[in-house]
Structure formats: structure tokens, C-alpha cells
Chain A
């Protein structure tokens, strides 16, 4: 299994998947950093104490929105890298020599999963820390709850990866891509509806969002990440800023309706369940 994981990781590296993603990410970071510099530099506050608090809030809000966009890129990479990992290799015939080796189909599939997971974890972690680094560079602020937020940021592509791996064992490359991307979009739309429902006080819409996140809990992980960061913002240094709700300012990008710890546990089980189903399908599949 580990030999295959290594092969998959090296394949992503040698085929320049990481390089292309890295260059595009660099452009994103340059754009993001430039935006941060000018947006934060243009705001002038009368009260220095309140000003520093609002600067921090603005930085956190911009960070949260950056994370939202970054998680799209990471999700895209997860889907594109994994959609053909089994289906594509069957279609082009590269899986035959591997599948007749003395290793279980489970190990073959999990080897591919772990190889892709290692690549995605590295990419996502570097991406997240680069954004947090830009925030620190521009504002001197260490993003609150950096470590748990990082863990949540890298959990999201793992969930998407497990769904894509399930798709690739069952469908064609295109089919598995559409399957995973469709579920991801469903999750994002459901998550947005949930937040809007929470802002409007509509329980029905909130529940609708919760149900879609049970079908695919990727967006719930992002919402939890935002809540993790914002909930750890220090109090207003003697000033009362209770009138100011950063989640409201973030609107549909925020976490008005925050996923519970149980939702996180569910997300972990969901990823494991998807992989288990994928292994069972792959075991019985004709290659």
C-alpha cells in the first residue's frame, strides 16, 4: 500500500500537477496580498483602540473570505487529481499491470488515496499558512486559532477526496468528476442557504442547509473553521464591541449557524464510510 502511495505522490510531483497548482496559487497569493495591502492601508480610524480592534476584525474578515476562495482551489485540485485515479487508469490500461500484483485491491485503492492525500495535505497546509503569513505581514496579527483552523482547512479536501475516490471506483473519469463536483457545489449552496436562513431566522432554510451538509459535509468544515477563528478574537480591550457581529458582516460567507462538534465527528465518519464503500465497490469490480 505504501509503495503505491509513494508512486501516487511522486506521480503528482513528476507530472507537474503540484507545480501548476503551485504557480496558480502563487498568483492567487500575490493578488490576495496586494488586495490586503491596499484595503487595510486605506482605512483610517479616529479612535486608536477601536481602530486597532477594527483593523483586526477587517483582517480576520478578509482572511475568512480568502480561505473561502482558497478552499475552492483545494477542492478543485482534489477532484481533478482523484477523478481519474482508478477510472482513468482502467480506461488507459495503466491499472492492469498494477492490479495483477500480489496486493489486495483494498491496498491498491488506499495506496492511491494516501498518496493523493499526502499531496493535498501538503498543498493545503502551505496554502493556508501562506495566507495566514500574509495577514501577519500586513497587520502583525497572528490568526486566532491558527492550528485548529489549519486542521479544519486540510480536513475539507480529505472529505472531497474520499467522495471522489468513491466516484472513480464506480464511474468513468468524467462521471466521477461530475459526481464529486456536483456534491461539492450542493454542499456549498446548502451551506450558503443555511447561513442566509440563520440571518433571516428561517428554521426551514437552516434545516435544508443542514440536510445538504449531511449529504456532503464539505461546507460544514469551512463554517466550523470560520467560527473557530472568529470565536477566538480577543475582547475589545475595555471597549464594548458587542454591537459588532463579524459573522453578520461576513453574511453568507460567515458562520451564523455553526456546525457542532457532532457534525465534525460525522464528517470524519463520512470520509471513512465513503472510503469503505469505495473499497467494497473496487473489490467486486471487473477491471
Chain B
């Protein structure tokens, strides 16, 4: 069931379109990666989906309601990209306050605040003034604030931008924990390796338009490379193969070949075996998300 539904969303600021005719959906329980270069429109779309920005046209639904609807807000947590928290409050006070705004009563709010502070690794820092937190600590505190209302859908805009490698790993673990708990995560990020590690589905946006959208496995499949360890490859067969696959490379007993699609694997293997080759290993290569991302942006697709 789609928990986020985006239909033909366009947002125009003055003469410039931040988002153009964007449509996609995110299934419940998925981690959805939304990628794109700076200024592509990622944050604008996230803000539209949490009800901070009104679209110029198009519709969106989050958890079955319009993003401006209070019922939708009850289901949503948001960690913005460029945010600040009230520095004059203590960490625990701030999270408790947000828990109360999210509808929890005093004692339950305090208990919930302690839980999320522990989840983000700030349980010992709750009595410090937020102004005295480091940037990374503030980012974690922002995450705690986003999670305190126990939302169904969590929008995270560059959640690891201020974190050290350990902090990033911790956030990744939190994301996977949230996924296990059945939450849906909408993740805006530049860090492709992170997205690759946690996301089920990805959309890539450039100049306000979605240029690719789909399950990560499918995107990474595409024109796949295949590495085959074999012997008995004759010169005639190699020449014939080059007619179909001009980028074929043969190094010792290893043949590397770029296919149009993975469906061609079976035909290739049959062709090799018919030609008298003995095949010991067939390893499908994977396109990294970075390769796909760079390729799509360069192609301007």
C-alpha cells in the first residue's frame, strides 16, 4: 500500500520551477532514497510533503491525507536540512516539548523523550543546553525530535551531513531499526553509498524533474556487466562474440562482457557452451548507484 503518493507536483518560485510535474509513490515500510544535485528540488519536495510549502499544482497524500491536514501531521516526523533548535532549552526539555506538541501527556512525553534520546545516543546529554551541543549532536537531537511523536512516515533531509563516520553508521542503524518497526523513511541525501546501503527504492531528480525512479536492484541492473571464467574459447568464437558485444575483454581465462540486459545471460552462456567452452564461474557485475547517478545526470535524461 502506498503511504506517500505524489501526483504531478509542480512548484514554481517566481520564474523558476523548483519541482516540475513530479509523480511517484512510496510503499509502506520502505526506505525511499530521493537523490539529486544541489538545487535539484529535493528539499522543496520534502517540504511540500510535510506541509511546509504549498505546491503550485498537483496533489500529494501522506498516510492517506493531504500534507496540510493535521491528521497527516500526526503520522509524520521531519528532520529538515538547515534547521536550528531552540538553544536556550535543555535537550530533554526540547524533546519533551515536541512530544507534548505531538499529543503526548506530560509524564508519557518525558518518558518518550528519554527513549528517543537513548536511540540517537544522547541519553547522557539530555540535561545540557542545546546551545552547547556540537553540530553533530544537534543533528542527532533533530532526529530525536523527528522521531518523538512515533510517526509512521519519517522525512529526513540530509540526516548525516554533520555527522562523523561513527555517527553516520549509527544513523544507518537507526534507519534499519525504523524499517524493521514498519516505518516508512523518505531519505534525501547526497551520500550515495549510504543510500545504496539502506534504501529499497530510489528516485533521482535533476532540475526539478524525476529522471529515474524504481527499486534499487532494478536501477542497478540495467546494462549489466558479466564476468565469466572459462577455457576453450576459440579465436573464431571470440570474433563472433565481438560482433554482438564490441566491449568484450579477454584477460587470461576471464571474459568480461557488457550486456544490453541481464536477460541475455542465458543466451550468451548457451552460445559459449555450444562453441565448446567450459564455464567455471559466471559473476554478474553491478552498477554502483554512483555510476548510475553520474551517468543519468551527464546524459541529462
> How many residues on B have C-beta within 8 angstroms of the other chain's C-beta atoms?
31
B101 touches A99 (CB 8 A): no
Name B13-51 residues within 8 Å CB distance of A: 47, 50-51
Chain B residues in 8 Å Cβ range of A94: 83-86
The distance from the CB of B93 to the nearest CB of chain A, in whole angstroms, is: 9
A96 touches B53 (CB 8 A): no
A100 touches B97 (CB 8 A): no
Interface flags for A91-117 (1: CB within 8 Å of B; 0: not) read 011101111111110000000000000
Name B40-95 residues within 8 Å CB distance of A: 47, 50-54, 70-71, 73-74, 76-78, 80, 82-86, 88-89
Chain A residues in 8 Å Cβ range of B80: 93, 96-97
A287 touches B70 (CB 8 A): no
Q: In this assembly, does B275 line the interface, its C-beta being within 8 Å of a C-beta of chain A?
A: no
Q: In this assembly, does A284 line the interface, its C-beta being within 8 Å of a C-beta of chain B?
A: yes
Chain A residues in 8 Å Cβ range of B84: 92-94
Interface flags for B134-167 (1: CB within 8 Å of A; 0: not) read 0000000010011001000000000000000000
Name B93-151 residues within 8 Å CB distance of A: 97-98, 100-103, 142, 145-146, 149
Bound: A154/B191 CA distance, A:
54
B53 touches A287 (CB 8 A): yes
A102 touches B70 (CB 8 A): yes
B52 partner, pick from A11, A15, A103, A287, beta carbons under 8 A: A287
The distance from the CB of A67 to the nearest CB of chain B, in whole angstroms, is: 32
A96 touches B78 (CB 8 A): yes
Q: In this assembly, does A118 line the interface, its C-beta being within 8 Å of a C-beta of chain B?
A: no
A11 touches B86 (CB 8 A): yes
Chain A residues in 8 Å Cβ range of B101: 3-4, 98, 101-103
Bound: A97/B78 CA distance, A:
7
Name B193-210 residues within 8 Å CB distance of A: none
Bound: A196/B47 CA distance, A:
54
B74 touches A3 (CB 8 A): no
A103 touches B70 (CB 8 A): yes
Known contacts A11-B88, A287-B52; A101 and B82 CB within 8 A of each other: no
User: Nearest CB to that of A15 among chain B residues?
Assistant: B88
16 contacts between A and B (CB under 8 A): A3-B97, A15-B88, A93-B84, A94-B83, A94-B85, A96-B83, A97-B83, A97-B85, A97-B142, A100-B50, A100-B77, A101-B73, A102-B70, A102-B101, A103-B101, A287-B52
Residues of A within 8 A of B (CB): 3-4, 7, 11, 14-15, 92-94, 96-104, 284, 286-287
For the complex of A and B, 9 pairs with smallest distance between CB atoms: A102-B73, A93-B83, A101-B101, A96-B80, A287-B52, A286-B53, A100-B78, A14-B88, A102-B74
